[in-house]
Each structure stands twice: as structure tokens, then as C-alpha cells.
């Protein structure tokens, strides 16, 4: 991927879950447009993948080992990013998340707690940690990757849907609290995207979704990255849930 522009020159972007899929596409897109990018992963293998991907396009940035289930580590890691970039994070992309799918009657407390702790609580605590430097600078943006299930629910995803719906409420509240201080918060809510997570779904579930998506296919991670970029660049957006689902939500039936 060659350099595409300089729209984000001078920005320090933290992208969670950047070793693969949507997060990787977002990290590379921002880096190719001038941002200094810190991509997070939960393992050494993931960190290597981030560094390799950034190196392939001669981008400025680093890999950070960060687990949303371990908020006690956030301050140290964000201080490391600020020291390495010589500036605090000005763009946060909340992409990392997990799923533990099963119907509600079979869902264990652990399956519920793990998804909520990572996707919602961990994301909130990481977001809260970047706010003070943004407030001091009176500028900054947070784009959170939600999901169409956050507003519509899905069979076997009570925990995941609740976490994504919670992120929508969190984002709207932050926009109301801090929008007047130069900060913006938005959600980009994809439908079916061709990633490792969705490929692990049973084929019949994937086909059921494809049958009601008007464009008749899954989205690519780059298409989601494009929508994130558009959201970051549109100064009129704050507290919005921006769908990108090929018409999936409109195609759903009761």
C-alpha cells in the first residue's frame, strides 16, 4: 500500500485489535494518510503482525500489547505511545472485541461477563483514559466500531448485542458531554464483514444473512476502513451511529 495522502498528518492514532481484519485495514489506511499509528494486539504474535504490516508501507508507528480485559495496564501503555510518538493520542479507534455466541438459556455467567467486560467496560475505560489529553488540547476524536446487532439484536448474540448497544449509548453520552469542548465521538456500525470472526460462523447462518443483504455479499474490511476515514473527516458528525451494512438492517424482517 503506497502513501495515499496526508489528511491525518500530525495525528497520533491508537487502533485496537490492529493485527488483522477490520482493525488492520483501519490502521494501514490511517498510516498511509500520514497518521502516526499505534496498533494494539493481545499477543506477541499479534504485535509482530502489526509491526510487519506498518513496515511494509514504511509507516510511522508501533505495536502495543494491550488487552481490554486488563485496564490496569492502560495508563502504562498509553504513556509509552505518547512517549514514542512525542504526542498523546488524538484519534482513538475502538475496534477490538470478542464474541461468545450461544442462545441466552445456555449462556453462562462467564460468557456474558467476558464479552461485556471486554467489549463494553474495557472500551469505556480505555476511552476515558485518552480524554484528558484531548481535553487539554481541545481536539480529538473517538470512533468506535459497533455492529448492526447493537440496534437490532441477533439470535444467539444476547451478550454481544448488549455490548454493542451499550457502546452506542456510551458514544452518544460522551458526544453530549464533550462535544462543546472540541471532541467528537461516533460509531461506525458494520453489518456482515468478511473477517476471521464471521468465517467461523456456521455456513447456514452466513447464508441466512446473505439472503437478506440487498447487495448480496459481505463487506470487506477496507470498506469499513473507508467509512471510518469518512467519519473522521466529516466535522459535522458527533454522537452519530453511521451504518455500513449493504442494506442489511433495511432488509431484515421480523
* Catalytic residue status for 160: yes
**Cell numbers describing residue 60:** 510511522
The DSSP 8-state label assigned to residue 218 in this structure reads P
In angstroms, the CA 38 to CA 33 distance is 14
Q: Of the candidates 78, 20, 21, which has an alpha carbon nearest to the alpha carbon of residue 49?
A: 20
Residues comprising the chain, all counted: 254
Contact 64, 39 (CB under 8 A): yes
Q: Is 170 exposed, middle or buried (0-12, 13-18, 19+ CB in 10 A)?
A: buried
In angstroms, the CA 22 to CA 95 distance is 8
Active-site residue, selected from the candidate residues 160, 190, 198, 232? 160
Cell numbers 459535522 label which residue?
236
Tell me which residues are annotated as active site.
160
Amino acid at each position: 500500500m503506497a502513501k495515499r495522502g496526508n489528511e491525518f498528518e500530525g495525528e497520533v492514532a491508537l487502533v485496537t485489535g490492529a493485527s488483522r481484519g477490520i482493525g488492520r485495514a483501519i490502521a494501514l489506511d490511517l498510516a498511509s494518510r500520514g497518521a502516526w499509528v499505534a496498533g494494539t494486539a493481545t499477543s506477541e504474535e499479534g504485535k509482530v503482525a502489526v509491526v510487519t504490516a506498518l513496515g511494509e508501507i514504511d509507516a510511522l508507528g508501533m505495536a502495543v500489547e494491550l488487552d481490554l480485559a486488563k485496564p490496569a495496564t492502560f495508563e502504562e501503555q498509553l504513556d509509552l505511545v505518547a512517549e514514542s510518538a512525542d504526542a498523546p493520542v488524538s484519534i482513538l479507534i475502538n475496534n477490538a472485541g470478542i464474541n461468545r455466541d450461544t442462545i441466552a438459556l445456555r449462556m453462562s455467567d462467564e460468557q456474558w461477563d467476558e464479552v461485556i467486560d471486554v467489549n463494553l467496560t474495557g472500551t469505556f475505560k480505555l476511552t476515558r483514559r485518552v480524554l484528558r489529553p484531548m481535553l487539554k488540547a481541545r481536539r480529538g476524536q473517538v470512533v468506535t466500531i459497533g455492529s448492526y446487532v447493537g440496534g437490532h439484536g441477533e439470535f444467539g448474540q444476547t451478550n454481544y448485542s448488549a455490548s454493542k448497544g451499550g457502546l452506542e449509548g456510551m458514544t452518544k453520552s460522551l458526544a453530549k458531554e464533550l462535544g462543546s469542548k472540541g471532541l467528537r465521538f461516533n460509531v461506525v456500525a458494520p453489518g456482515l464483514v468478511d473477517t476471521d470472526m464471521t468465517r467461523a460462523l456456521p455456513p447456514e447462518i452466513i447464508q441466512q444473512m446473505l439472503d437478506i443483504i440487498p447487495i448480496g455479499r459481505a463487506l470487506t474490511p477496507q470498506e469499513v476502513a473507508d467509512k471510518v476515514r469518512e467519519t473522521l473527516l466529516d466535522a459535522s458528525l458527533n454522537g452519530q451511529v453511521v451504518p455500513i451494512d449493504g442494506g442489511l438492517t433495511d432488509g431484515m424482517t421480523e
